[in-house]
Structure 1
Amino acid sequence: MQKKAVRDKMEESKKYGCAEVLMMLKQIKLNELSLNPFTMIGDEWMLISAGDEQKYNMMTAAWGGLGVMWGKSVAAVVIRPTRYTLDFVKAKDHFALNFFDSSFKPVLSYCGSHSGRDVDKEKGTGLTPVFTAQAPYFAQAKLVMVCRKLYQQKLDPGCFLDGSLDAKWYPEKDYHECFVGEIAGVWKSE
């Protein structure tokens, strides 16, 4: 995105309560990261984004994980079948995980309570999308991980060893689709 377009978008985003400063993101090596995934995902939340410049969507997620599998650094996310973002993640080879500072909690709440089927989330949040060949991410993020899908599977209710989890989290039987993606690139605010 050109600098003028980013400045114009940032002026517009002020109307929607976003932080007033665009983070300057720098690509880093994965082993340069020092983070607590339990806090980042479970407490601070993240946006999962997928699609392209023509059409994309993002959703808030508080479930997922980071680790090593099949000799690769990976991220795992789960998406319910009712979520609009699921179609975008399924259709593309990559998705992005976007992490923000605490001033963006209202933005993440908005993205978690509004569907891209019904509203323009970009307009509703003032977030500035950045489009790469792999996946869209957001200029205001403090950390972005672009992931290449390696594995996907719908959660199987027959595999729950603790049946109370099924009863508690899936009363509507709307089992998540799980995606494991290799972390192909990481960008961090300077």
Structure 2
Amino acid sequence: MIKDAKFVISNSNPGNCPKPDRAEIAFIGRSNVGKSSLINSITDKKGLAKTSQKPGKTQLINHFMIDDRWYLVDLPGYGFAKVNKKVKDGWEIMISTYLKKRENLCGICILIDSRLPPQLIDLEFILWCATEGVPAVLVFTKADKQSKNKTNQNVQAFLRKLENYVEEAPQYFVTSAENATGKAELVEFLEELVKEYESGTLNG
């Protein structure tokens, strides 16, 4: 369970991130996937991450300190944001540099809208992570927006499609920021990742 969460810093340069002296887990997904809402839900802090109806609200790397122990990082969304190509290319370089070079990153959560059929942009991003060796899990969002059956169908369709891209599908969670579906399981998983990282650091 997360007891405390506070905003630390926003920046556009991965080199200016806080000192990599503790575990870090990043959240990323297509624009408007419900990333900020989910971060606010799992931390029990309503206004922690800024939510917006307009895609592309998050344009910086945002660090939040969790329980004075680890960082949760909110990364800019990919795709659909109404920004010019130069800005978009800049984001992509920033995100890929961060994901490949951040030494204390122990995992990323790739958020996927459970209401939609498989989206190429998500599949390609998961493939990129697998190719670059970035450890990832999938977090399906907005499960409250349709029946459980429909959510399950969409999740299975996505996983089947993903078989064409990667050898082994990542672990996945089905969540809703509105009614806390999957929240306890996801938080427990994040805390396990942090524990693993800490024991590795101590033993290393």
The one of the two structures with greater contact order (alpha-carbon pairs below 8 A, sep at least 6) is: 1
From the two aligned structures, give the one with the greater strand fraction. Answer: 1
Q: State whether TM-score is above 0.5.
A: no
TM-score band by shorter chain is under 0.3
Q: TM-score, length-normalised on structure 2?
A: 0.23
From the two aligned structures, give the one with the greater helix fraction. Answer: 2
